[in-house]
Structure formats: C-alpha cells, structure tokens
C-alpha cells in the first residue's frame, strides 16, 4: 500500500511530488522516527524507497503526508 500510494502521487500529472513527506521508523532518532521529502526520493523499488542517502524498507513507513494532509497511515496493531 505504501508503494502504491507513493506511485500515485509521483506519476499523477495533477500533483507535485516535492510536497510528499514520508515518516518512517528510525531507532537512532530520539523521536523514534524520521522524515524524508519527495525531493529526496530517487526511486521506488519493489521492497525499498531509494533516497539520496540510502534506502528505507516500505515496512518502516508509518505515515505519508501530501501538502500537510495525511494520505496514508499505518494502523497500530
């Protein structure tokens, strides 16, 4: 679902992918999560989001925002 959501915003002619924010689990960050912006995403692979600084597995994504509005949020179990 994460990849599908990101692809929807990346390839839609009516959206600006730079307005995307991806919040993902980051155990090294004191907040417990980090954020990357659409401009930092290089490629959407089958298992990872490839960024300018590394890669993020899709299962670590907890929330996606577009222009400040939540478009995806993982449900806590």
Q: Model-level pTM?
A: 0.91
Sequence ranges of the domains in the chain: 2-73
> Domain 2-73 carries which CATH code?
2.30.30
Tell me what the mean pLDDT of segment 15-19 comes to.
Answer: 96
Both tokens of 31, joined, read 């907040």
Asked if 35 and 21 count as a contact pair (C-beta separation under 8 A), the reply is: yes
Tens digits of residue pLDDT in 49-63: 999 999 999 999 999
pLDDT band at 77 (very low <50, low <70, confident <90, very high): low
Which H or E run includes 66?
strand 61-66
């Amino acid at each position: 679902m994460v990849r599908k959501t990101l692809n929807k915003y990346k390839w839609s002619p009516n959206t600006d992918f730079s307005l995307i924010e991806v919040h993902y689990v980051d155990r090294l960050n004191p907040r417990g999560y980090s954020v990357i912006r659409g401009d930092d995403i290089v490629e959407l692979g089958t298992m990872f989001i490839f960024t300018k600084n590394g890669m993020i597995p899709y299962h670590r994504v907890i929330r996606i925002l577009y222009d400040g509005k939540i478009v995806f949020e993982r449900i806590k179990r």
